[in-house]
């Protein structure tokens, strides 16, 4: 659109809202924050629900109307907030939100979701828009908390929206809106998501290699058919509550401590952080109740010790085929997520009820080992992101960074190893170096699911969901907003300048969730299969004392 048309629009708009013009004073051509700026690029089944101008320093979101993301980001930069409604079929619809900042960096960033939650992820969008990105996120086609999957019952269309269609459509339509709003081509498009968000990113790369130039995916719940059935299976190991093999959740901290005692030193430095969990097989007989001297209030029976072996063990089909790998030693502090409730986790139970079998009466006791194969064959919503040929993404110059916390007690870290290994085999004929030219995978010792730590491990590197645990106005890595400590900035450098991401430095603070307290530890994360090694001389808590090998 010609410049004078913009000026004319500005005059009309300015007459109505004079105060905003002052705010726009420092820009030459302020885009008007109203639906006329982009409505004409929307396809027929797409409509605008809401457009709001947000002044600098304000908050935005839907509050408690957003069941999954009720907390709003605060201290936003000046921006235009848009909510778009997409009728995806006669029986489904999804919405997505956009933050269009006045000070735009010419790039887009799409954020993913968590669990089965339905809601626009305004909180992460708040972190992203502070870099200058035009950010977007979809509600994935329903309005629910993370473990509520009843919206999927007998509705293949809502399943498809959650599976891939809402992300794909939002990115496609969102990019059109951005380019029309700013009257400029987008220079680069990025993605950032963890857990379900990791799955969503991988899925989009697999079905639409052109969507993103750079992709950040963490703790990816990519293998929906096998992971969500594994969640049921692992839950049954510790049930019912009255069984002699049942371990009460109150035991998990003591078990975690014992595993650190046994496994920590195998990585070359005793710092309370298990960096090489695969080299360790926890031996709980030292906590056995029949052993002399063992604390009888914190001991395990032989039957309970068998339960731990099953939880760490891989889930295999009768013929030995790997269905899903087990939990890694060191994640016991998070075991309550899949073990020790009075039923299996909702991610397993409700997946079976509402996604797989469409049978609300299905009980966890009904689980049997035909489930993973059945789920893989049916794959409701086409949600499983098991495409291993990433050549189309690679060939157009795409770059991807994947990571996984080794103390993840919800989505086993070894599931990411599995995805990486299969990509190496399928895309690069087994040559890991060739895969690393466009796709790198970083393990994060001591980090739980998507962020946080129970063992004071460096865990924050500006991945999704991480900023919000430091405050509703937080973004990047506070005090360390640079490409060495912020993985999103590192990814941008790789995409835009070809600066290969050799390592990323993770940070934690005295109080691990309070960045106002002093930095406690910083340490590089290394591209798998490399691991961080202490140089044996320097300060263990300083990043400079470590290298990748």
Ligand X SMILES: *[C@@H]1O[C@H](CO)[C@@H](O)[C@H](O)[C@H]1NC(C)=O
Interface with ligand X by CB under 6 A: which residues? 43, 45, 62, 65-67, 71, 86, 88-89, 105-106, 143, 169, 184, 248-250, 254, 295, 297-298, 342-343, 357, 362, 366, 368, 370, 382, 431, 433-434, 437, 471-472, 483, 492-493, 496-497, 513-514
In the complex with ligand X, which residue's Cβ is closer, 377 or 537? 377
Whether 73 and 61 have beta carbons less than 8 Å apart is answered as yes
In the complex with ligand X, which residue's Cβ is closer, 72 or 262? 72
Q: How many residues does the chain have?
A: 549
Whether 132 and 101 have beta carbons less than 8 Å apart is answered as yes
Angle at 69 between CA 24 and CA 89, to 5 degrees: 90
Q: What does each C-alpha distance from 295 to 244, 299, 307, 386 come to in angstroms?
A: 19, 6, 20, 46
The residue to which tokens 């995916």 are assigned: 217
Positive/negative CA dihedral, 83, 51, 217, 333: negative
In angstroms, what is the minimal distance from the CB of 484 to ligand X? Answer: 11
Residues sharing a CB contact under 8 Å with residue 293, sequence separation 6 or more, in sequence order: none
In the complex with ligand X, which residue's Cβ is closer, 6 or 357? 357
In angstroms, what is the minimal distance from the CB of 95 to ligand X? Answer: 8
Per DSSP, 352 falls in state: I
In the complex with ligand X, which residue's Cβ is closer, 13 or 122? 122
In angstroms, what is the minimal distance from the CB of 239 to ligand X? Answer: 10
Distance between CA atoms of residues 353 and 21, nearest Å:
54
In the complex with ligand X, which residue's Cβ is closer, 352 or 413? 352
In the complex with ligand X, which residue's Cβ is closer, 23 or 343? 343
Q: Is the peptide bond before 168 cis (omega within 30 degrees of 0)?
A: no
**Of the candidates 487, 392, 391, 489, which has an alpha carbon nearest to the alpha carbon of residue 434?**
391
In the complex with ligand X, which residue's Cβ is closer, 30 or 277? 30
In angstroms, what is the minimal distance from the CB of 366 to ligand X? Answer: 4
Whether 487 and 451 have beta carbons less than 8 Å apart is answered as no
In angstroms, what is the minimal distance from the CB of 333 to ligand X? Answer: 12
Distance between CA atoms of residues 130 and 78, nearest Å:
10
In angstroms, what is the minimal distance from the CB of 45 to ligand X? Answer: 4
For 410-475, give the DSSP string. SS-THHHHHHHHHHHHHHHTT-HHHHHTTEEEEEETTB-SSS-BSS----BSS-TTTGGGG-TT--
In angstroms, what is the minimal distance from the CB of 11 to ligand X? Answer: 24
In the complex with ligand X, which residue's Cβ is closer, 214 or 277? 214
Whether 287 and 299 have beta carbons less than 8 Å apart is answered as yes
In angstroms, what is the minimal distance from the CB of 220 to ligand X? Answer: 19
Whether 308 and 262 have beta carbons less than 8 Å apart is answered as no
In angstroms, what is the minimal distance from the CB of 268 to ligand X? Answer: 28
In the complex with ligand X, which residue's Cβ is closer, 277 or 452? 452
Token pair, residue 336, equals: 């309550």
SS3 366: helix
In angstroms, what is the minimal distance from the CB of 119 to ligand X? Answer: 7
In the complex with ligand X, which residue's Cβ is closer, 43 or 244? 43
């Amino acid at each position: 659109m010609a410049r004078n048309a913009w000026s004319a629009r500005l005059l009309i708009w300015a007459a109505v809202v004079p105060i905003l013009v002052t705010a726009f004073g420092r820009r030459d051509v302020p885009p008007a924050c109203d639906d006329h700026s982009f409505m004409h690029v929307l396809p027929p089944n797409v409509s605008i629900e809401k457009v709001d101008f947000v002044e600098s320093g304000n908050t935005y979101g839907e509050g408690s109307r957003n069941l999954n993301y009720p907390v709003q980001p605060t201290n936003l930069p000046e921006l235009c907030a848009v909510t778009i409604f997409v009728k995806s079929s006669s029986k489904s619809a999804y919405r997505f939100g956009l933050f269009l900042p006045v000070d735009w960096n010419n790039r887009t960033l799409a954020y993913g979701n968590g669990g089965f939650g339905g809601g626009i992820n305004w909180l992460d969008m708040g972190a992203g828009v502070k870099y200058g990105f035009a950010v977007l996120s979809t509600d994935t086609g329903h309005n629910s908390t993370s473990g509520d999957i009843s919206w999927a019952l007998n509705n293949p269309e809502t399943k498809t929206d959650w599976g891939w269609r809402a992300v794909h459509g939002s990115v496609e339509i969102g990019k059109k809106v951005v380019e029309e709003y700013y009257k400029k081509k987008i220079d680069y498009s990025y993605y950032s998501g963890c857990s379900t968000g990791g799955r969503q990113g991988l899925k989009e790369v697999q079905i639409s290699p052109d969507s993103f130039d750079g992709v950040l995916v963490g703790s990816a719940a990519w293998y929906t058919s096998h992971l969500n059935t594994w969640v049921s299976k692992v839950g049954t190991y510790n049930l019912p509550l009255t069984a002699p093999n049942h371990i009460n959740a109150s035991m998990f901290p003591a078990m975690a401590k014992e595993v650190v005692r046994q496994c920590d030193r195998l990585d070359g430095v005793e710092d309370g952080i298990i960096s090489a969990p695969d080299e360790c097989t926890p031996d709980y007989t030292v906590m056995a109740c029949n052993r002399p001297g063992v604390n009888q209030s914190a001991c395990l029976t032989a039957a309970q010790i068998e339960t731990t072996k099953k939880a760490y063990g891989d889930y295999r089909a009768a013929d030995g085929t790997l269905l899903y790998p087990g939990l890694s030693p060191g994640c016991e502090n998070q075991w309550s997520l899949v073990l020790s409730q009075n039923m299996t986790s909702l991610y397993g139970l409700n997946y079976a009820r509402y996604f797989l079998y469409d049978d609300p009466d299905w009980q966890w006791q009904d689980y049997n080992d035909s489930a993973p194969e059945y789920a893989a064959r049916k794959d409701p919503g086409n949600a499983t992101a098991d495409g291993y040929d990433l050549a189309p993404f690679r060939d157009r110059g795409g770059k991807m960074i994947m990571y996984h916390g080794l103390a993840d007690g919800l989505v086993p870290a070894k599931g990411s190893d599995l995805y990486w290994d299969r990509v190496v085999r399928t895309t690069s004929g087994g040559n890991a170096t060739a895969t690393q030219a466009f796709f790198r995978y970083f393990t994060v010792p001591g980090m739980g699911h998507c962020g946080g730590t129970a063992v004071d491990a460096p865990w924050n590197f500006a991945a999704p969901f991480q900023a919000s645990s430091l405050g509703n106005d937080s973004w990047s890595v506070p005090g360390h907003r640079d490409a060495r400590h912020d993985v999103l900035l590192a990814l941008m450098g790789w995409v835009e300048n070809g600066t290969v991401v050799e390592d990323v430095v993770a940070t934690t603070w005295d109080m691990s969730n309070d960045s106002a307290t002093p930095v406690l530890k910083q340490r590089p994360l290394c591209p798998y299969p490399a691991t961080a090694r202490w140089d044996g001389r320097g300060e263990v808590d300083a990043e400079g004392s470590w290298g990748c090998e």
